[in-house]
Amino acid sequence: MDDVEHRNPIELFKSWFEDAKRSEPINPEAMTLASATPDGRPSARMVLLKDASDRGFVFYTNFESRKGQELLGNPRAALLFYWKSLGRQVRVVGRVERVGDEEADAYFSSRDRGAQIGAWASDQSRPLAGRFELERRVARYAARFGLSRVPRPPHWSGFRIVPEEIEFWREGRFRLHDRLVYTRGEGGWRTERLFP
- Say how far apart CA 9 and CA 91 lie, in whole Å: 11
- Say how far apart CA 135 and CA 133 lie, in whole Å: 6
**CATH, residue 164:** 2.30.110.10
pLDDT beneath 50, residues of the chain: none
Domain count, the chain: 1
- Say how far apart CA 133 and CA 143 lie, in whole Å: 15
- Say how far apart CA 82 and CA 88 lie, in whole Å: 6
**Residue 104 domain flag:** yes
**Residue 17 domain flag:** yes
- Say how far apart CA 68 and CA 36 lie, in whole Å: 11
DSSP string, 49-88: --EEETTEEEEEEETTSHHHHHHHHS-EEEEEEEETTTTE
User: Is the Cβ–Cβ distance between 50 and 158 less than 8 Å?
Assistant: yes
- Please give the pLDDT value at position 6: 59
Per residue in 25-76, pLDDT (tens digit) is: 899 999 999 999 999 999 999 999 999 999 999 999 999 999 999 999 999 9
- Please give the pLDDT value at position 173: 87
**Residue 115 domain flag:** no
- Please give the pLDDT value at position 174: 84
**Residue 83 domain flag:** yes
pTM: 0.92
| Closest C-alpha among 147, 149, 68 to residue 116 | 149
Q: Which domain holds residue 85?
A: 2-108+155-193
- Please give the pLDDT value at position 132: 92
- Please give the pLDDT value at position 1: 57
Active site residue 175: yes
- Please give the pLDDT value at position 38: 95
- Please give the pLDDT value at position 175: 83
Query: Could you say which of 22, 131, 149, 175 is catalytic?
Result: 175
- Please give the pLDDT value at position 5: 55
**Residue 117 domain flag:** no
